[in-house]
């Protein structure tokens, strides 16, 4: 008889622990809302997009001056990338500051 009482007490403690942690609340909300209909999605077709030209000259300009201007713009962007990368490396390798109370 005492084994039954101990077993019921343990089961009650497990039930209270699950209720307190919120497991039963999420299960009850799923049961109360009923079966969920799964939304059907149609596969999207690949769209034919053209890349954005961020260079200062037009995409159809092939003159020597345009090529020099575009290469200078690319060099400026790469040097900015290098600077940004160095700043990120410095922030990752940052040393903690000792604090005294």
Element (H, E) at 73: helix 64-92
Q: Indicate yes or no: pTM above 0.85.
A: no
Round the average pLDDT of the chain to a whole number and report it. Answer: 75
Cβ-count burial 71-98 (b if 16+ within 10 Å, e if not): eeeeeeeeeeeeeeeeeeeeeeeeeeee
Listed in sequence order, the residues at least 6 apart from 25 whose beta carbon sits closer than 8 Å to its beta carbon are 19
User: pLDDT tens digit string along 47-73?
Assistant: 666 656 666 666 677 788 888 888 888
Q: Is the dihedral of CA 71, 73, 79, 82 positive or negative?
A: negative
Residue spans of the domains in the chain: they are: 1-30, 62-91
Q: What is the pLDDT of residue 10?
A: 92
């Amino acid at each position: 008889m005492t084994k039954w009482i101990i077993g019921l007490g343990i089961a009650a403690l497990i039930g209270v622990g699950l209720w307190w942690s919120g497991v039963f609340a999420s299960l009850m909300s799923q049961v109360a809302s009923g079966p969920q209909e799964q939304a059907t999605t149609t596969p999207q077709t690949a769209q034919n997009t053209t890349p954005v030209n961020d260079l200062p000259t037009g995409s159809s300009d092939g003159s020597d001056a345009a090529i020099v201007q575009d290469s200078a713009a690319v060099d400026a962007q790469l040097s900015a990338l290098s600077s940004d990368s160095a700043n990120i490396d410095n922030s990752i390798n940052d040393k903690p500051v000792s604090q005294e109370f």
